[in-house]
Homo-oligomer: A and B are copies of this chain.
Amino acid sequence: MSDSYAELMVKIREIGQLEAVESLLDWDLETQMPPNALRCRADQLSLLARLVHDRRTGDEMDRLLSQINGSAEDSVQETNVREMRRTFDRSVKIPSELVGKISHVSAMAKGAWAEAREDSRFEHFAPHLSELIELKRQVADLVGFEDERYDALLDEFEPGMKTALVAEVFEGLRGPLSDFVRRLRDAPNKPDASILRGHFPQAAQEKFARRLTSAIGFDFQSGRLDVSTHPFCSGVVPTDVRMTTRYQEDFFSASTFGTLHEAGHGMYEQGLLEEHAFTPMGSAVSLGIHESQSRLWENFVGRSRPFWDHFYGECQEAFPDALGGVGLDPFHAAINAVHPSLIRVEADEVTYNLHIILRFEMERQLIDGALAVKDVPDAWNAKMQDLLGVSPECDREGCLQDIHWSMGTFGYFPTYALGNLYAAQIFETANRDIPDLADRIGRGDFATLLEWLRENIHRHGQRYRSDDLIQKITGKSMSTQPFMNYLHAKFSPIYGL
């Protein structure tokens, strides 16, 4: 290993440690921080963001990257140098003050969003949103783009992805999804989702969530499960992965599928190789690939029939009052009920992507100026009607439901839908490579699938970009076909089509 490379690694790991600290501060803010501490925490996050940024973009980093240029000794070094160069080239264009400012503004905006959401008053959040959009436009202009500003923002979350391609893919999904929703609406079988609305005591939900996530492979010696308003998984260190959930005592699905989802994220983080911690080789490929892992465990595994063949007995024991008298068939149908609804995080697998298409279209317009902030609620409601045939009664159930815009993370939402598409392609291939996968899941063997994911995805860190990785695993480019095939194969029998 060259001296320059060794020096680079020390610097990179230091940056990674500072990012891990940022991540913990943010987790703390979301889960437990005393309310009066917000401004001070915003200052701390801003300071750390500047420290990270300065290190990423310093002359020292430039010098080291240039010295190593072309002399990487193996594919690990190649990956690390390529990705640090990419980060450098992007970050160096953004002044440290702007980075600190965005961090501070968004920490404060999160608080404002939470209050505005509580009161269902978009106008209280609007000034923060305007400020963040303006700041993110500045970022896009500084970073540069070929076709449209939104490209520069999307690239932060899904490196290499283009807005035009996302738009094309979404355009291709829109019609078939809407058609399928209509077919299910008119189908002979109607799952009775009300059976998931009994009384599910919080303590029992928590215990059951821990049981399921441990069983599929989340390691609680290297992670935690806590409560937050908006569930998330924070895992910059493979040995410290923190997922959150929220419990609704009158609803089974929120915590159960929410924790399976976050555990999917968490197991990806825990599966990154510790020897590469804090370097690109020890980091997730993209948010889309990350989401493929969470959706795969939440839906492709967690809402599958074999999964509940294995766990439904325990589930009934955990919630005897609500589910003791409910059979497995109606239960399985209920957890897969398709119903156009208002809230993205509660959406079923079929309508979910429509929620994302709405957000993608809106933020693309917000960034390029075609949509004014003051018109967000009306635009949102109109699009909901158009895409899903439902209308929110208030902003809390509409444009204030998600935390993302308060974090300034425009370009993040599309990765959710990409994750669904990737998950379908990956799961299709996993089933080809492990022909008895469904049986294994039915026997409670999740280790085989996890090992396959570790081998094919987790251990590679950022060795491959998302499109290369999908190509490498599945032999094909990203496509909507496996996802649509999966939906038809799964939902047709449930709905008697």
Chain A contacts to B: CB under 8 angstroms: 14, 17-18, 20-21, 24-25, 28, 32-37, 39-41, 43-44, 47-48, 51, 219-224, 237, 239-241, 277
Contacts and interface: CB of A to CB of B under 8 A. Distances in A.
Nearest to A242: B34
13 contacts: A17-B44, A20-B44, A24-B24, A24-B28, A33-B240, A34-B222, A34-B223, A34-B240, A34-B241, A35-B221, A36-B240, A37-B237, A37-B240
B239 A40 contact: yes
With most chain B CB atoms within 10 A of its CB, the pick from A222, A240, A241 is A240
Contacts of A240: 33-34, 36-37, 40-41
- Report, nearest first, the 9 A-B pairs whose CB atoms are least far apart: A37-B240, A36-B239, A36-B222, A37-B239, A40-B237, A36-B221, A17-B44, A17-B47, A34-B222
Nearest to A48: B21
With most chain B CB atoms within 10 A of its CB, the pick from A35, A40, A48 is A40
Nearest to A226: B32
Contacts of A14: 47
A28 B32 CA distance: 11
Contact of A17 (B33, B37, B43): B43
A277 B36 CA distance: 14
Given A24-B25, A25-B21, A48-B21, A221 B43 contact: no
Given A28-B28, A34-B239, A240-B33, A21 B21 contact: yes
Nearest to A14: B47
With most chain B CB atoms within 10 A of its CB, the pick from A33, A36, A222 is A36
A353 B219 CA distance: 45
A355 to B, nearest CB: 33
Contacts of A220: 34
Nearest to A22: B21
Nearest to A274: B40
A39 B278 CA distance: 14
A272 to B, nearest CB: 13
A415 B34 CA distance: 29
Nearest to A35: B221
Contacts of A224: 32, 34
Contacts of A35: 221
Nearest to A31: B32
Contacts of A34: 220-224, 239-241
Contacts of A21: 21, 25, 44, 48
Contacts of A43: 17
Nearest to A41: B240
A318 to B, nearest CB: 22
